[in-house]
Amino acid sequence: MTMIKKTPKQSTLQGIKSLFVGLKVTGRNFVMPQITTHYPRKEVSNLATYRGHVDLVPKEDDPMTSKCILCGQCAKACPSNCIELVIRKEEVEPPPDEEAQPDSGSKEEATAKSAPKKKKVKRILDAFMLNYNLCSLCGQCVQTCPVDSLEFSTNSYLAGFTREEFIFDLLERMRNKQKASSSG
């Protein structure tokens, strides 16, 4: 239930008393342990859940390549156009064992077989550029990625002097991180 209340009124005596009550609170806090953190010497404890810029996730079986399937959906979903995929196309010979498939006899396959064999074009990720200057950490890219290839880093101490320092190649970052972790 709701009721419209009256603001409590105060007599002068109560008012004077309130000053001493306030002093008591201050006095109690004066002898309490310090709650702030002396920063460079100590770190705050809540950094683990911090969500920094996005990072690529490596494949489990091959830590030097990312899970990314180059679909470009993250770049499209991003409200600030932070993400750019640098894709190189490479023609590769189709592996010979492809012809030795058991014949299923379907019509499509028959036509595919009769067509002149094309060279397969493989798309290779050269760089995964993130312009962190524009990023609003909204998480749209992470949510849209169909193969969970993106995650948030937890680096809260990121700082730099120029804008260029905040344009990352996430692929390179991922590889460097993997190298460091495997050697270390």
Binding site for ligand SF4 (CB under 6 A): 54, 68-74, 77-80, 82-83, 85, 135-141, 144-145, 147, 149-150
Pull the structure tokens for residue 19: 């000053």
What residues pair up with 125 in beta bridges, in sequence order?
87
7 counts as binding another protein under rule CB under 8 A: yes
Rounded distance between C-alpha atoms, residue 81 and residue 70, angstroms: 16
Smallest separation (angstroms) from another protein to the CB of 163: 21
Q: Which is nearer to another protein, 136 or 176 (CB)?
A: 136
Pull the structure tokens for residue 43: 């770190």
Q: Which is nearer to another protein, 46 or 182 (CB)?
A: 46
Q: Which does 82 bind (CB under 5 to 8 A by kind): another protein, ligand SF4, none?
A: ligand SF4
Smallest separation (angstroms) from another protein to the CB of 29: 8
Q: Which does 22 bind (CB under 5 to 8 A by kind): another protein, ligand SF4, none?
A: another protein
Position 18: which residue type? S
Rounded distance between C-alpha atoms, residue 127 and residue 172, angstroms: 7
Pull the structure tokens for residue 177: 């991180």
- How wide is the angle at C-alpha 125 spanned by C-alphas 121 and 112, nearest 5°? 20
The residue behind tokens 């105060």 is: 10
Q: Give 112: exposed, middle or buried? Use CB within 10 Å, 0-12, 13-18, 19+.
A: exposed
CA distances from 35 to 29, 31, 44, 46, 160 (A): 10, 12, 11, 14, 29
Q: Which does 127 bind (CB under 5 to 8 A by kind): another protein, ligand SF4, none?
A: none
Smallest separation (angstroms) from ligand SF4 to the CB of 87: 9
Smallest separation (angstroms) from ligand SF4 to the CB of 131: 8
Rounded distance between C-alpha atoms, residue 169 and residue 12, angstroms: 68
Which of 54, 68, 74, 78 binds another protein (CB under 8 A)? It is 78
Looking at 5-13, 63-71, 97-105, 121-129, which segment touches another protein (CB under 8 A)? 5-13
Binding residues for another protein (CB under 8 A): 1-7, 10, 14-16, 18-19, 21-22, 24-26, 29, 35, 46, 49-51, 77-79, 136-140, 143, 152
